Amino acid sequence: MKKSNLPSSLTGPLFAFICLVGFAACEKKTSGPEEAKASNSSTQISSSAIEQKVEANQTVETNSKVFIIPPESLINPQEVSNKITNIKISGSDLSFTSTGQDPYFSFPWLDSMPNGAVIKVDITLPEKQMLQLFYQLKNESAFTEQNSIIRVKKGGRNTIEWKIEGPLNGRFRFDPGTTTGEYIIHQVEVIY
């Protein structure tokens, strides 16, 4: 993927895909924000939020798709999850309590990713933790230790980035830690 620097005065539209509640996604390439429509009107992230983030960072990968997974889509009690209770949303933050030593949940199913992906998670941890991201390759239907990446991070706020090579089917499972306590996920971004 090529990188390009964007001027701080950028006000025009950006390319991006914005993941919305459930399996619905909103395509955003080079059109105005008025064309971004969600299947669930209560959950929509505007392209201006992405533009502000890009302006702050001054760098964006071109020829990439970007999903920002909204907090209300991250943990679905009907989906795969373990040892997670007290789920709350406050603004763009999702907080929850881990009641055991192996909390985990699956992300909403995303589009297939033929060239791999970069997953960025902004999270506040109760203490030093081992975090693990599981992924499925194109023709897989189960999560395995072989297809996972582990990071160890200090307590407090952290941004973790996982770069995954190879064709992916769009399924991810996130294990945010290994202890009980309060966790806050500030943002999950998927770039491919």
**57 backbone dihedrals φ, ψ, rounded to 5°:** -90, -25
The whole-model pTM stands at 0.68
| Domains observed in the chain | 3-69 (no CATH), 71-191 (2.60.120.260)
Does the structure show a pLDDT above 90 at 28? no
Alpha-carbon span 56 to 82, nearest angstrom: 35
Does the structure show a pLDDT above 50 at 167? yes
Q: What local confidence, expressed as pLDDT, does residue 12 receive?
A: 30
Q: What local confidence, expressed as pLDDT, does residue 62 receive?
A: 53
Does the structure show a pLDDT above 90 at 43? no
The whole-chain average pLDDT of the chain stands at 74
Kindly state the percentage of the chain with pLDDT values over 90.
Answer: 60
Confidence label for 31 from pLDDT (cuts 50, 70 and 90): very low
Does the structure show a pLDDT above 90 at 29? no
Helix residue ranges per DSSP H, 43-84: 47-57, 71-74
34: left (phi over 0), alpha (psi -120 to 50) or beta: alpha
Kind and range of the H or E run holding 49: helix 47-57
pLDDT tens per residue, range 147-164 = 999 999 999 999 999 999
Tokens 């941004």 correspond to: 159
Secondary structure class of 12 (helix, strand, coil): coil
Q: What local confidence, expressed as pLDDT, does residue 77 receive?
A: 64
